[in-house]
């Protein structure tokens, strides 16, 4: 069995029924996609390890989608190409340095096969499948290094540590995300901000700390228990006077601001609330944010699920549809960045 990773943990897996000690082996194989992890051995003592949770068949459209959306291939893989075939595709060769597998790929109608050219991982350089662009994978080791270079104020660290002991602590934004949000607010010179989905207040506190004394942040959260923790830290940090805390649904809070005549008066908004409401939040925020203002939306990559056409739960579908919606929306300029679980930065035109 051999495997390769493409992009955000989505993998193409070639299941090979047998290996022999010869340098060329013919065997049956099938394709599947899975979030991960297999241990692969052959008679030449080569091994790869990956985790497997579930698998399913790979269709042509799915292959194209993965390759179009995730062209970044970490070592040992340096190229992948999809081959369209209505009939079972012919034999193809997998080359790993001086070791060859010849596989006979069985398929049903309209199933695509994949030819993978690979080589040993000898450095930390990752290449796109056209071999023209060099990229770097954010490995756990590299992410630890990144976090070590985040300037996290002590009060934020204290809040993060307290939140880490709570159920649902994964909802808290990461320190690098909060640092980016604070930087955007400073670059923009923002005075008036909105946050949808406060949780325990890490991101809103990061923003409030960099707002001027006259600044205002409308912070909307429906969960009263987590909101109490947020308010405690606003007081500890000495920024509670900058916060307008709304214990209500985000949509209701936004509509209230519009009714109060506050359209086009906000500089910055951050959305980290109910995923199935993203499009409605966005439309309301477009009314509230001024021209040149920013709307930042969290979780737009949704653990990599948005790129997998075989994952169609309500939240994934909603985020996928929202991403498509703003991609086509000419009212904003956008940049999707792979920070945290993915954030899209929108600038109102």
pLDDT tens digit sequence for 5-53: 333 333 333 332 332 333 333 333 333 333 333 333 333 334 333 333 3
**In Å, what is the CA distance from 259 to each residue of 172, 255, 263?**
31, 6, 8
Identify whether residues 201 and 98 lie together within a single domain: no
Same domain, 120 and 190: no
Residues 97 and 60 in one domain: yes
User: 137, 170, 189: which is the final residue of a domain?
Assistant: 137
Cα-based angle 317, 80, 338 (whole degrees, multiple of 5): 45
CA distance 140 to 173: 17
Based on the fold, state whether residues 107 and 178 are members of the same structural domain: no
- DSSP E strands in the chain: the ranges are 2-6, 10-16, 26-34, 39-41, 47-49, 56-57, 72-73, 77-83, 92-96, 99-105, 113-118, 126-128, 134-135, 192-196, 216-220, 243-246, 266-271, 289-298, 332-337, 343-348
Question: Are 151 and 121 in the same domain?
Answer: no
Statement to judge: residues 226 and 163 lie in one domain? yes
Mark whether 62 and 149 lie in a shared domain: no
Average pLDDT for the chain: 73
In the prediction, which pLDDT does 85 show? 36
Q: What is the mean pLDDT of residues 181-206?
A: 99
Residues 161 and 287 in one domain: yes
Q: Residue 305 gets which letter from DSSP?
A: G
In this predicted structure, what is the pLDDT of residue 231? 98
- Whether 311 and 204 share a structural domain: yes
**pLDDT surpassing 50 at residue 84:** no
Name the band, by pLDDT with cuts 50, 70 and 90, for residue 224.
Answer: very high
pTM beyond 0.85, yes or no: no
**Per-residue CA distances from 276 to 170, 178, 318 (Å):** 18, 23, 5
Cα–Cα dist 331/94, whole Å:
47
Domain span including residue 232: 143-348
The residue whose two tokens read 């549809």 is 321
**Secondary structure, 3-state, 114-126:** EEEEECCCCCCCE
* Domain identity same for 147 and 295: yes
pLDDT category of residue 135 using cuts at 50, 70 and 90? confident
Q: What is the CATH number of the domain that holds 241?
A: 3.40.50.150
| Domain termination site, one of 74, 106, 137 | 137
Q: Choose the final residue of a domain: 83, 110, 137.
A: 137
The number of distinct structural domains making up the chain is 2
Q: How confident is the model at residue 55 (pLDDT cuts 50, 70, 90)?
A: very low
232 in the same domain as 168: yes
Same domain, 113 and 9: yes
> Does the pLDDT value for residue 90 go beyond 60?
no
Judging by beta carbons within 10 Å of its beta carbon (0-12, 13-18, 19+), is residue 128 exposed, middle or buried?
middle
């Amino acid at each position: 069995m051999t495997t390769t990773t493409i992009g955000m943990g989505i993998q193409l897996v070639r299941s090979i029924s047998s290996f022999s000690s010869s340098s060329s082996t013919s065997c049956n194989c099938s394709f599947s996609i899975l979030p991960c992890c297999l241990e692969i051995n052959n008679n030449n003592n080569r091994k790869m390890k990956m985790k497997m949770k579930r698998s399913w068949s790979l269709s042509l459209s799915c292959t194209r989608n993965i390759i179009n959306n995730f062209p970044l291939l970490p070592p040992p893989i340096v190229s992948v190409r999809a081959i369209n075939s209505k009939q079972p595709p012919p034999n193809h060769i997998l080359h790993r340095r001086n070791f060859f597998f010849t596989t006979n790929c069985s398929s049903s109608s309209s199933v695509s096969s994949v030819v993978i050219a690979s080589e040993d991982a000898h450095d930390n350089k990752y290449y796109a499948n056209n071999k023209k662009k060099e990229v770097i994978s954010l490995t756990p080791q590299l992410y630890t290094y990144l976090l070590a270079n985040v300037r996290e104020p002590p009060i934020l660290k204290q809040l993060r540590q307290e939140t880490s002991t709570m159920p649902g602590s994964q909802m808290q934004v990461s320190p690098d995300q909060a640092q980016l949000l604070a930087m955007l607010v400073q670059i923009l010179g923002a005075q008036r901000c909105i946050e949808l989905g406060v949780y325990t207040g890490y991101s809103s506190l990061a923003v409030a700390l960099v707002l001027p004394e006259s600044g205002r942040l409308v912070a909307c959260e429906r969960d009263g228990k987590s909101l109490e923790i947020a308010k405690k830290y606003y007081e500890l940090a000495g920024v509670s006077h900058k916060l307008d805390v709304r214990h209500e649904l985000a949509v209701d809070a936004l509509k209230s601001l519009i009714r109060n005549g506050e359209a086009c008066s906000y500089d910055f908004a951050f959305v980290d609330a109910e995923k199935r409401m993203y499009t409605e939040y966005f439309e309301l925020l477009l009314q509230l944010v001024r021209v040149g203002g920013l709307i930042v939306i969290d979780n737009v990559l949704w653990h990599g699920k948005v790129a997998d056409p075989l994952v169609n739960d309500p939240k994934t579908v909603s985020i996928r549809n929202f991403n498509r919606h703003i991609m086509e929306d000419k009212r904003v300029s956008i940049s999707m960045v792979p920070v945290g679980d993915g954030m899209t930065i929108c600038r109102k035109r």
